[in-house]
A = this chain, B = another copy of it.
Amino acid sequence: MQENRISDAVIRRLPKYYRYLNELEGTGVERVSSSRMSDDMNLNASQIRRDLNCFGGFGQQGYGYQVIRLKQEIMRILGIGSYYKAVIVGAGNIGQALLKYRHFGDEGYHIVAMFDADPHLVGKDVGEMTIRSTEELSDFIEENKVDIGIIAVPKAYAQETANTLVGLGVKGIWNFAPVDVNVGETVSVENVHMSDSLYILSYHMRDKSENG
């Protein structure tokens, strides 16, 4: 398939295009030129054309891109709007914040259960969901064909939790513990490092104050 040749750098920019096209669609815009995208998104217009050409694009000279069609193609490539079942392990603040963020479900990422090892948390309700004991994790995942394991446990338990989830057959790990977890070749992982954007922020603050 053609998109197999899309580079990782382009893939990493696709979510930004998706969010932008979503906003445009919401305001009723049907077509958009690469130069308008360039202005709105702060990206170079020729880079935008190169990026979108990677998967066939839909731009026409003097006409631009069809917003809905381009958005749908990007969704298809990323897997947005497919049906994924996810569980959250760790019912602390991060776990609960992720559970409450309803937007994931609208996009096809369905959080079907949340687990914690702490007996004080097990049995408590968060929204419409009851926190389950991690002792139930194995049975639950086997019965429910879970695709994605979301790790929101403390750093010290992150790798062990990843191992358990992979052993139970999940295909993707979304890790919020502040340490990279490693998984085998057959499983995908995204380690989220929230601090990284804070470092980038302080770089830009420093850069502006020095070169203002």
Interface residues of A (CB under 8 A from B): 1, 4, 9, 11-12, 14-16, 18-19, 77-80, 82, 84, 92-94, 96-98, 100-101, 103-104, 107, 109, 147-148, 171-174, 178, 180, 186, 188-190, 192-212
Contact = CB atoms under 8 A, between A and B. Distances in A.
A201 B148 contact: yes
Contacts of A96: 93
B195 A190 contact: no
Nearest to A99: B93
A154 B14 CA distance: 25
A174 B198 contact: yes
B107 A12 contact: no
A201 B186 contact: no
Given A171-B205, A204-B172, A208-B171, A104 B15 contact: no
Given A178-B103, A188-B205, A198 B109 contact: yes
Contact of A172 (B1, B12, B190, B205): B205
Contact of A190 (B77, B92, B186, B200): B200
B82 A93 contact: no
Contact of A79 (B79, B186, B203): B203
Contact of A196 (B15, B79, B109, B205): B15
B171 A203 contact: no
Contacts of A104: 195, 198
Nearest to A203: B78
Nearest to A207: B4
A93 B15 CA distance: 24
Contact of A206 (B14, B79, B202): B79
8 contacts: A4-B211, A15-B200, A16-B196, A19-B193, A101-B178, A174-B197, A186-B212, A192-B197
